[in-house]
Chains A and B, each alone.
Chain A
Amino acid sequence: MRNPYLPILMRIERIIVETDDEMLKSFDLVFVNESDGQGFSFMPGQFCEISVFGKGEAPFGFASSPLEQGYLRITVNKAGVLTTALHDLAEGDIVGLRGPLGNGYPLHLFEGHNIVVIGGGFAFTTLRSLVVYMLHSANRAKFGEISIVYGARQPGLLLYKQELSIWGHRDDVRLYLTVDKRDETWRGREALVPNVVEEVAPNPKNAYAVICGPSVMIRYTLPKLSALGFSPDQIYTSLERRMKCGLGKCGRCNIGPYYVCEDGPVFSYAQLNGLPKEY
């Protein structure tokens, strides 16, 4: 019987510094033992528990799409014990991984619909997985119009600049980038994400919205979506909580009867309404 508490060993193959302040780094991980990688698959929105042996474990959403071969990417914000330790690691170092965990974005619902992706700051990680997956040639035709609104405090804090550039040049996705405060290099919008959503005014008909970002951004964006006619069951988000087991056993990450690690982290607002606001 497989022990779900034992991490698989992963080697850091590549480290990418994502932001100017170096507080965000992406780690591309490969399986130390090839056999662990065989049959390993995940869906956008799922997460994994990453171990730095001796420091502990923390949950990170997969930033890479399941169709990106050869590595698993996570993006880490340097904030506490474990993330600081991760940031201090070098290429070739070993970490542990348990996963995939959680429920992923409801792609079976999203297919055949227009998708509005709204992200803020470094919460864009699993949204990258979702967008790259949807834009893949094998999948693009399954979805309608895809629009992305992504904002950060400053231009240097936007993640995945390479991907953003690619998406900006594609004609099968509409990308609306914005920053709270521009710098000398920035020629794009200077506006808060909720206001950009209002300006873009996505059509709720036959559409789903996925929103991930700081709670203040979400708090001001949800009413904008509501005013546009999006109902709570059309709006999805990915929640975060302090997690330990990731298996629905240690008890701590619940919101009402749902465990963020098992029944989530992806929830619709229809599910969340009426539950204690413990997120």
Chain B
Amino acid sequence: MKKIAKADMGRFIARLLEQYMVYAPVQVDDAIQFQEITTPSEAYLDYQNSTKSPKGVFLPQSEVLFRYNKGPKQVTVTPPEEIKKERVLLGVRGCDVRATLLLDAIFNTPVNPDVYYEEKRGKTIIIGLACSEPPSLCFCTSVGGTPFDRKGSDLFLIDISDAYLVDVLTDKGEKLLDDTLFRDATAADLELARKREAEALEQMPPPLEVKQLKDKLDGMVESPLWGTLAERCLRCGICAYLCPSCYCFDIVDEDYGSSGERVRNWDACMFSLYSLETSGHNPRPTGSERWRQRLMHKFNYAIGQCGDALCVGCGRCVQGCPVNIDIRKIVTDVMAS
């Protein structure tokens, strides 16, 4: 285990910026979001939870799949250039990394891999950050995570007051270290880190019963619950867009006459346009069917897709929903039904 003094973080980030593109949590007005930084002072690591998840680093909200040029009886298709500069994702929580691992199962498939996602994943080094003050909304421990979940990170930072303990987890992470800023951690440091972890765990709410959720949901294809949820739901995309593990996207051509781009944009199963067919038929005509899809996908179908529920307990949907639809309550109600 290594450690770096908080006072040295600025220099560390400055070194990273020399070689890498760095994404870090940034305070933008009252929202905290992950974006590219150009100076170390922009990075805001003392945050509790970011407003939007960092999934845009791997799955940008809008992304050009290819450009095309049309001439008389001919077309050229040009994919985007390879990413030249490697990236560092700094200060990301274990829950958000866990979500990325879930998305890996969907995008990094042996057949038809999503080359855009794969490239970004392969060229990004992840510096995770332990969650010492889990917000009260969080429930990562109910869905297989923990505040100090380091799985998937290349380096993992733990706040120990005036320094960060650095768990070096992969070679990719190791190559970021240098001797001048990073020292060996002492036994006292390790003890403090353990204490912080225990404190964080203590703050977590009692776990929700999620393991049997899939079995319950199997029998709920026709359930009045969907109608009840749909009654209050506004059918906006806030929950899907803030979520670190929602990944659905739309593909459109943006045409400029003789040239244009095929672009993919985030989409949400809550929108009616999502499944609307040209004939006008919509297999999910009302909010009921869409709520069934949302909950089933997250806690039932996902088990087959990626081995786990597509929810990491980050609480962003709870915080963001304008009408206070609370996934924790929904899960509890389903289990009790």
Direct contact of A and B (CB under 8 A): yes
Shortest CB-to-CB span from B107 to chain A, Å, is 6
A96 touches B75 (CB 8 A): yes
A54-B70, A247-B112 as given contacts; A252 in contact with B221, CB under 8 Å: no
State whether the Cβ of A106 lies closer than 8 Å to any Cβ in chain B: no
A252 touches B248 (CB 8 A): yes
A53-B70, A251-B249, A276-B289 as given contacts; A7 in contact with B77, CB under 8 Å: yes
Chain A contacts for B300, CB-based, 8 A: 257
Q: How far is the CA of A275 from the CA of B4 in the complex (A)?
A: 54
State whether the Cβ of B20 lies closer than 8 Å to any Cβ in chain A: no
The chain A residue sitting closest to B74, CB to CB, is A94
B283 touches which one: A4, A79, A241 (CB < 8 A)? A241
State whether the Cβ of A256 lies closer than 8 Å to any Cβ in chain B: yes
B250 touches A250 (CB 8 A): yes
State whether the Cβ of A126 lies closer than 8 Å to any Cβ in chain B: no
B255 touches which one: A55, A240, A241 (CB < 8 A)? A55
Which of A9, A83, A93, A250 is packed against the most chain B CB atoms within 10 Å?
A: A250
A252 touches B267 (CB 8 A): yes
State whether the Cβ of B301 lies closer than 8 Å to any Cβ in chain A: yes
B260-288 Cβ-contact flags toward A at 8 Å (1 or 0): 10101001010000111111010110000
A241 touches B277 (CB 8 A): yes
Q: How far is the CA of A241 from the CA of B275 in the complex (A)?
A: 7
Shortest CB-to-CB span from A111 to chain B, Å, is 25
The chain A residue sitting closest to B251, CB to CB, is A244
Chain A contacts for B269, CB-based, 8 A: 251-252
Shortest CB-to-CB span from A46 to chain B, Å, is 14
Interface residue count for B (Cβ, 8 Å)? Answer: 50
A206-228 Cβ-contact flags toward B at 8 Å (1 or 0): 00000000010000000000000
Chain B contacts for A94, CB-based, 8 A: 70, 73-75
A54 touches B260 (CB 8 A): yes
Chain B contacts for A5, CB-based, 8 A: 65-66, 114-116, 262
The chain A residue sitting closest to B115, CB to CB, is A3
Shortest CB-to-CB span from A16 to chain B, Å, is 20
Q: How large is the interface on A (under 10, 10 to 19, 20 to 34, 35 or more residues)?
A: 35 or more
Chain A contacts for B120, CB-based, 8 A: none
A278 touches B251 (CB 8 A): no
A82-126 Cβ-contact flags toward B at 8 Å (1 or 0): 010000000011101000000000000000000000000000000
Q: How far is the CA of A254 from the CA of B65 in the complex (A)?
A: 23
A93-B73, A257-B300, A274-B221 as given contacts; A244 in contact with B250, CB under 8 Å: yes
Q: Name the interface residues of A237-279: CB closer than 8 Å to any CB of B.
A: 240-242, 244-245, 247-254, 256-257, 274-279
Shortest CB-to-CB span from A125 to chain B, Å, is 15
The chain B residue sitting closest to A79, CB to CB, is B278
The chain A residue sitting closest to B252, CB to CB, is A56
The chain B residue sitting closest to A255, CB to CB, is B283
Shortest CB-to-CB span from B281 to chain A, Å, is 8
Q: Name the interface residues of B51-104: CB closer than 8 Å to any CB of A.
A: 65-66, 68, 70, 73-75, 77, 79
State whether the Cβ of B182 lies closer than 8 Å to any Cβ in chain A: no
Shortest CB-to-CB span from A137 to chain B, Å, is 33
Chain B contacts for A9, CB-based, 8 A: 75, 77
Q: How far is the CA of A247 from the CA of B113 in the complex (A)?
A: 9
The chain A residue sitting closest to B240, CB to CB, is A251
Q: How far is the CA of A34 from the CA of B251 in the complex (A)?
A: 28
The chain B residue sitting closest to A90, CB to CB, is B73
Q: How far is the CA of A74 from the CA of B296 in the complex (A)?
A: 35
Chain B contacts for A53, CB-based, 8 A: 68, 70, 75, 77, 253, 255, 260
State whether the Cβ of B297 lies closer than 8 Å to any Cβ in chain A: yes
Shortest CB-to-CB span from B119 to chain A, Å, is 9
Chain B contacts for A96, CB-based, 8 A: 75, 77
A244 touches which one: B73, B249, B304 (CB < 8 A)? B249
State whether the Cβ of A166 lies closer than 8 Å to any Cβ in chain B: no
B249 touches A250 (CB 8 A): yes
B280-311 Cβ-contact flags toward A at 8 Å (1 or 0): 01011000010011001100110011000000
State whether the Cβ of B330 lies closer than 8 Å to any Cβ in chain A: no
Q: How far is the CA of A274 from the CA of B220 in the complex (A)?
A: 10
State whether the Cβ of A1 lies closer than 8 Å to any Cβ in chain B: yes
Shortest CB-to-CB span from B295 to chain A, Å, is 12
State whether the Cβ of A57 lies closer than 8 Å to any Cβ in chain B: yes
Chain B contacts for A245, CB-based, 8 A: 249, 251
Q: For the complex of A and B, list the 8 residue pairs with the smallest distance between their C-beta atoms, beginning with the closest.
A: A251-B248, A80-B278, A54-B255, A278-B283, A4-B112, A257-B301, A244-B251, A79-B278
Known: A249-B114, A250-B249. 12 other contacts (CB 8 A): A3-B115, A53-B68, A57-B262, A92-B73, A215-B281, A240-B277, A242-B275, A251-B248, A252-B275, A254-B297, A276-B293, A278-B293
List, sorted by A's number, 10 A–B pairs whose CB atoms are closer than 8 Å: A3-B115, A9-B75, A80-B278, A94-B74, A249-B114, A252-B269, A254-B297, A275-B221, A276-B292, A278-B293
